[in-house]
Amino acid sequence: MNKKWILFLLLGLTNVNLSLFAQTQPERRRAEFNEIREKRVAFISKNMNLNAEEAKVFWPLYNELQEKKIQLNQRLRRALFQFTGNERDKKKHTENDYREIVNLYTRFKINEAKLEEEYILKFTKVISYEKIYHYQQAEQQFARQMLDQRREQTPESRRRP
């Protein structure tokens, strides 16, 4: 009888721990996302050398652009997740399925470029092309740094070739 209660208690504690872990994971991801966002803003700000007036107008535009990119990216990721999920479920794709996913990816890249072009025009009303150039360079450098950090944190056995 005693062993049953101990087993029951251990199972109950395991369930509590699992549910706590499940609740904190999205919060942890959100915190990591916000931390990266803050680092990105600081890095870009340093490289662009914006004055107060420029920053006051630039950052809301920048945030709009990022939000639109996130929405665009989420649509693509959902479609790719569904497509690869079908592969994991051993469902065969037709040539038409492959054509659709390739075209979707191409449209994503085109729409992303259109967004960039649209916001470059908006940025030119606020900042110089020189600062836009520094912004673009800072975005690329920051992305490279984040990728390098991630590679350093990833164990060799988990790295992809």
pLDDT of residue 26: 85
The mean pLDDT value for 31-40 works out to 89
Residue 9 pLDDT more than 50? no
Most confident of 49-53, 80-84, 126-130, 156-160: 126-130
Residue 131 pLDDT more than 90? yes
| Digit-coded pLDDT (tens) for 86-120 | 777 778 889 999 999 999 999 999 999 999 999 99
What are 84's two structure tokens? 């690869």
pLDDT of residue 154: 74
d(CA 60, CA 62): 5
Residue 24 pLDDT more than 80? no
Q: List C-alpha distances in Å: 118 to 13, 16, 112, 113, 141.
A: 53, 49, 10, 9, 22
